[in-house]
Every structure is written in C-alpha cells, then in structure tokens.
Amino acid sequence: MSQNSVPTVVLGVIGADVHAIGNQILEHALEEAGIEPVNIGVMSSQQEFVEAAVETGADAIWVSSLYGHGEMDCRGLRDKCVEAGISDILLYVGGNLVIGKCSWEGVKELFLNMGYDRAYPPGTRPQDAIDDLRQDLVEQRESKDVVCSLD
C-alpha cells in the first residue's frame, strides 16, 4: 500500500478514447471512499499510466476504455509495469473493451490472461470495483506478510 496508508489509484482512459464522464465518476467515487485518485485523464498512453503509478507509489491502476479498442490499447501494460519495477501493482480494466459480439466471460478471460487482476463490463457500479480493491489490497498485504515471515 502507498506510503501514507491511504490507497492510491491511478485512473484514466487509454488510447484514442475521449470518453471522460465515466472516468470523472470513478474519480469522485474513489474520493468519497477515502481512496486517493490520480486521474491522468483521457487519451492516455500505457507509459503515462506507468509513470504516474511510479511517481505516486500507487497501489493500483484502473484503465477505462469505452470505444471498443481496449484489447489493442491494453495489451502489454503488465509487462511495462514489470519493467518499471512495479510488478505487484493491481491492474483493473473496465468498459466496452472489444468490438463485436463477444461473451463477457470470454472478454474477461482475455484481459485476465493479459495480466489484469480484474476486468469489468460496461455498467459496473464503481462501488463494486472499490470493494474489490479493498479486498485485493488486504489479500496482497497478507501474502507479503507470509513471504516476509518465511524469510
């Protein structure tokens, strides 16, 4: 968890996507939940997400994509995190991630296989992702405590 014990989340809209309203809703929901949002805005590159996460010591990156090109825009983000020394950062993605008629389970599996910890369909309530974040941070902390006690 970030240094001040308040979770920090970098969020933004990836690629050439300009859908800003959902991103602003997420930012507000994070603030209301006592989580520090770092909103990098729309049309953000993978590198901008990674740089913001490194600069802020973020616990998670939340990527939004609504224009259907999420598969292309999001592929390789986990590798960039590893290269930047933040391999344990939580990666969440959500929105209208692919074009065409695909089952949500198939889309979710695709993104989990790309290294995302969670994937959310359009219409997901922000509180659902916030609850998942809190749970994932506790589990992450507990797993680190186990590893440290084995040393």
> Is 132 labeled as catalytic in the residue annotation?
no
With H, G, I as helix, E, B as strand and everything else as coil, classify residue 139.
helix
Q: Which of 17, 59, 73, 117 is catalytic?
A: 17
Q: Residue 45 belongs to what H/E stretch?
A: none
Q: What are 39's strand-pairing partners?
A: 11
Task: Indicate the SS3 state at residue 87.
Answer: coil
Query: Annotated catalytic, 69?
Result: no
Question: What is the DSSP secondary structure assignment for residue 115, as one 8-state letter?
Answer: T
- Tokens of residue 130, six digits: 């916030």
Catalytic residues: 17, 19
